[in-house]
Amino acid sequence: MNMLATDADTVRFCEGAQLLPVHGVRGGRPFDVQDWVAEEVPVALEYNGISHAVMLATPLDLEDFALGFSLSEGILDAAHELYSVEAEQSALGFTVHMQVSGAAFTRLKQRRRSMAGRTGCGLCGTESLTQVSRELPVLQDDATVRFGREAIGRAMSQLPSQQTLQEATGAVHAAAWCSDDGEVMWLREDVGRHNALDKLVGALAANDVDASVGFIAVTSRASFEMVQKAAMAGAPLLAAVSAPTSFAVATAQRAGLTLVGFAREQDLGVYSHPQRLRTAQQHSVR
Phi, psi of 13 (to 5 degrees): -60, 135
Surface-to-core class of residue 5, CB atoms within 10 Å of its CB (0-12 exposed, 13-18 middle, 19+ buried): middle
Our measurement of the distance from residue 50's CA atom to the centroid of its chain's CA atoms, rounded to an integer in Å, reads 24
Q: Give the span between the Cα atoms of 41 and 190, in whole angstroms.
A: 11
Q: Give the span between the Cα atoms of 155 and 184, in whole angstroms.
A: 6
- The yes-or-no answer on residue 14 being catalytic is no
Kindly give, in sequence order, each residue whose CB lies less than 8 Å from that of residue 35, ignoring residues fewer than 6 positions away.
Answer: 2, 4, 5, 19, 20, 21, 22
Pick left, alpha or beta for residue 262 (phi over 0 → left; psi -120 to 50 → alpha; otherwise beta). left
Beta carbons within 10 angstroms of residue 13's beta carbon:
8
The catalytically annotated residue of 14, 121, 124, 178 is 121
Q: Give the span between the Cα atoms of 184 and 94, in whole angstroms.
A: 29
Kindly give, in sequence order, each residue whose CB lies less than 8 Å from that of residue 148, ignoring residues fewer than 6 positions away.
Answer: 181, 182, 277, 278, 279
Beta bridge partners of 38: 17
Phi, psi of 111 (to 5 degrees): -65, -40
Phi, psi of 140 (to 5 degrees): -80, 145
Q: Give the span between the Cα atoms of 35 and 26, in whole angstroms.
A: 14
Q: Which residues are catalytic?
A: 121
